[in-house]
């Protein structure tokens, strides 16, 4: 296939093409919080969010950005021989704060000679005009993308997970970022209670039609010490099997535009805090399963885009 023998547009292929070689990722913590945790909107965050704010493998927030970068490089070099990196502000909401201080953080991260890009995870309700001006300046200095945690387009599910914003807020943020030429990467969760595969594919088609540049597909993880864990203990809900997850992801890929970069096909979870399911800990098995299923069905990303996206519902 056209993506380095993959049947989907993988991030590795995209970054190799853009930067000329393999690119690693440095997960950083800016020591910020979130309006969905500090009482501005709510407390406790989204129902599935752990104490680290989805930054399980990020650097220590008490360390400087320079110290975190060097520490993360040492971790990366144990896995791959890479010389270029994306600095990734991962934990909590990384546009939630004073724009001048945030810009100083971003600039600090991209000063490293080996950092060739910047990824910023945030909420769409935390992107105002002042932040857009900062992001626009950063976008002119380095390869930038913004990650938005949508999870689902369906209002009832969004309310259940305590997302804290409506779909129109998300749409405005995407349009504003695109107007500045900034790449948009969106997170979605597969396996949210009450959602069928038809619901998931509807979210997938919706994002494909919005013209986003990237997507991260996650399985719903039940993490210890979260509100989702408390719900699960009281009233256990069905958890997807590995086979069902693989099948759904394959159908999602078929519905996604071939131009969209797949930043993630399965989430990482810390073994110490992962309650259910346990099979995602074997990440390579999941990824191999997706590759094999795509091959068996002789299908690929975008095969059914704008044509038969609902054919598996």
Tens-digit pLDDT profile for residues 248-268: 999 999 999 999 999 999 987
pLDDT category of residue 1 using cuts at 50, 70 and 90:
low
Report the pLDDT value the prediction gives residue 262, as an integer from 0 to 100: 98
E strand residue ranges, 243-298: 261-264, 274-276
Report the pLDDT value the prediction gives residue 2, as an integer from 0 to 100: 74
- Tell me how far apart the terminal alpha carbons of the chain are, to the nearest angstrom: 26
Q: Which residue has the higher pLDDT, 268 or 239?
A: 239
Report the pLDDT value the prediction gives residue 52, as an integer from 0 to 100: 64
Peptide bond into 277 cis (omega under 30): yes
Report the pLDDT value the prediction gives residue 4, as an integer from 0 to 100: 85
Report the pLDDT value the prediction gives residue 137, as an integer from 0 to 100: 98
Instruction: Say if residue 60's pLDDT is above 80.
Output: yes
Report the pLDDT value the prediction gives residue 33, as an integer from 0 to 100: 94
- Give mean pLDDT, residues 190-210: 97
Q: Sort 264 into a burial class: Cβ within 10 Å, 0-12 / 13-18 / 19+.
A: middle
CA–CA dist 34, 53 (Å, integer)? 9
Instruction: Say if residue 192's pLDDT is above 50.
Output: yes
Neighbouring C-beta atoms of residue 235, cutoff 10 Å: 8
Phi and psi torsions of 98, nearest 5°: -65, 125
- Give mean pLDDT, residues 261-286: 92
Lowest mean pLDDT among 83-87, 211-215, 230-234, 267-271: 267-271
Instruction: Say if residue 308's pLDDT is above 50.
Output: no
Give the chain's mean pLDDT: 93
Report the pLDDT value the prediction gives residue 53, as an integer from 0 to 100: 54
What digits encode the pLDDT tens for the residues 97-150? 999 999 999 999 999 999 999 999 999 999 999 999 999 999 999 999 999 999
Decide if 95 contacts 126 (C-beta within 8 A). Answer: yes
């Amino acid at each position: 296939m056209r993506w380095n023998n993959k049947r989907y547009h993988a991030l590795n292929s995209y970054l190799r093409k853009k930067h000329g070689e393999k690119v690693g990722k440095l997960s950083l913590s800016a020591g910020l919080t979130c309006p969905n945790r500090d009482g501005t909107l709510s407390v406790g965050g989204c129902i599935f969010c752990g104490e680290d704010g989805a930054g399980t493998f990020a650097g220590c927030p008490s360390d400087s950005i320079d110290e975190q970068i060097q520490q993360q490089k040492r971790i990366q070099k144990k896995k791959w021989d890479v010389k270029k990196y994306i600095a990734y502000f991962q934990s909590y909401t990384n546009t939630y704060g004073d724009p001048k201080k945030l810009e100083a953080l971003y600039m600090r991260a991209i000063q490293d000679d080996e950092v060739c890009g910047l990824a910023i995870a945030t909420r769409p309700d935390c992107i105002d005009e002042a932040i857009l001006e900062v992001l626009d300046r950063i976008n002119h200095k380095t390869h930038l993308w913004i990650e938005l945690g949508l999870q689902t387009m369906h209002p009832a599910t969004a309310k259940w997970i305590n997302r804290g914003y409506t779909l129109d807020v998300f749409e405005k943020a995407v349009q504003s970022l695109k107007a500045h030429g900034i790449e948009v990467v969106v997170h979605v969760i597969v396996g949210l209670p009450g959602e069928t595969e038809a619901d998931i594919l509807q979210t997938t088609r919706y994002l494909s039609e919005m013209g986003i540049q990237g997507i991260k597909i996650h399985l719903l993880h039940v993490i210890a010490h979260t509100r989702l864990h408390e719900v699960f203990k009281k009233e256990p809900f069905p958890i997807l099997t590995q086979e069902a997850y693989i099948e759904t992801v394959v159908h999602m890929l078929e519905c996604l535009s071939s131009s969209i970069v797949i930043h993630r096909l399965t989430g990482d979870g810390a073994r110490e805090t992962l309650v259910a399911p346990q099979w995602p800990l074997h990440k390579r098995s999941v990824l191999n399963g997706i590759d094999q299923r795509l091959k068996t069905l002789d299908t690929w990303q975008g095969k059914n885009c704008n044509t038969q996206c609902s054919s598996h519902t």
